[in-house]
Structure 1
C-alpha cells in the first residue's frame, strides 16, 4: 500500500492552479457589474450626506459656518452648493445619467472635503475617489441611462 505524500512542488502547482482558476473566474466578471456597484456605493454615500444636511438645515448652516469653514465662500452658499451637488450627483450616478459629469462633480466635493474639511480621512476619500475615477474613465456601464441613450443614438433614433 502506497501513501500519497504532498511534495513542495505539488503544493506549488496546486496553489498556481488555484490562482489561475481565480484569475480566470474574476476576468469573466462583467465590468458593468463593477460599474453598477461603484455607482450605487458612491451615490448612497452622497445621497445620505445630502439627506442629513436637509434634515436639519440650521445645524447644517452652523457646521458650514463653524466647523467646515470653506475659504472664500459664504457658509450659507457653501451649504447650498454642497447639498445641491450631492443630491444631483448622487441621483445622476444612481441612474447612470451623465455619470461622467456626476463623477466630476462629486470628485470636486471629495477634493474640497479632503483639502479643507477632513484631511485626516484620506483613506475614505481615496476609496470614493477610486470608485469615481472608475466611472469617469470607463463610464456608467450597461445598466445605465447613459448606455440606453448611447444605443438609441447609434441606432439613429
Structure 2
C-alpha cells in the first residue's frame, strides 16, 4: 500500500494555483459592482446620520452648539449645512447622480468631522474616505444615472 505524501514543491504549486484561481475570480468581478456597493454603503452611513439629526432637530442644534463646534461657522448654520450635505450627498451617491461631486462634498464633511469633531475616530473616517475616494477617482460605474446621462450625451442627445 502506497501512501501519498505532499512534498513541499507540490504543496507550493497547489497554493500558487489556488492563488491564481482567486485572482482570476476577483479580476472577473466587474468594477461597476464594486462601485455600486461602495456608493450604497457610504450613502447609507450619511443618510442615517442625516435622519438622526432630523429626528430631533432641537437636540441636533444643541450638539452643534456644544459638542460639534466648527470654527468660523454659526452652530445653526453648521447644523443645516451638515444635514443638507449628508442628505443630498447620500441621495446623489445612491442614484449615481453627479457621484464625483457628491463624493467631494462628503469628503469635506468627513474632513471636518475628523479635524474638528472626532479626531480619535480616524479609522472609521479612513474607511469612509476610502469608499469616497474610490467613487471620486473611478466614478459611479455603469449602474448609475451618471453613466446613463454620459451615454446619452455621447450618442448625441
Alignment of 1:111-126 (within 5 A): 111-126=111-126
Equivalent position of 1:66 in the other structure: 66
Mark the runs of 5 or more structure 1 residues left unpaired by the alignment.
none
1:78 Cα deviation after fit: 0.2
SS of equivalent residue, structure 1 residue 110: helix
Which portions of structure 1, spanning 4 or more consecutive aligned residues, are displaced by more than 2 angstroms? none
Alignment of 1:7-156 (within 5 A): 7-156=7-156
1:75 Cα deviation after fit: 0.4
1:148 Cα deviation after fit: 0.2
SS of equivalent residue, structure 2 residue 67: helix
Q: After superposition, give the CA deviation of every residue in 1:28-50 in whole Å (9 maximum; x if it has no partner).
A: 00000000000000000000000
1:54 Cα deviation after fit: 0.3
Mark the runs of 5 or more structure 2 residues left unpaired by the alignment.
none
Distance in structure 2 (CA, Å) of the matches to 1:84 and 1:5? 65
Q: CA RMSD in A?
A: 0.5
1:99 Cα deviation after fit: 0.2
Distance in structure 1 (CA, Å) of the matches to 2:72 and 2:56? 24
1:63 Cα deviation after fit: 0.3
Tell me the number of residue pairs that the alignment of Structure 1 and Structure 2 aligns.
Answer: 157
Q: After superposition, give the CA deviation of every residue in 1:46-95 in whole Å (9 maximum; x if it has no partner).
A: 00000000000000000000011111111000000000000000000000
TM (norm. structure 1) is 0.99
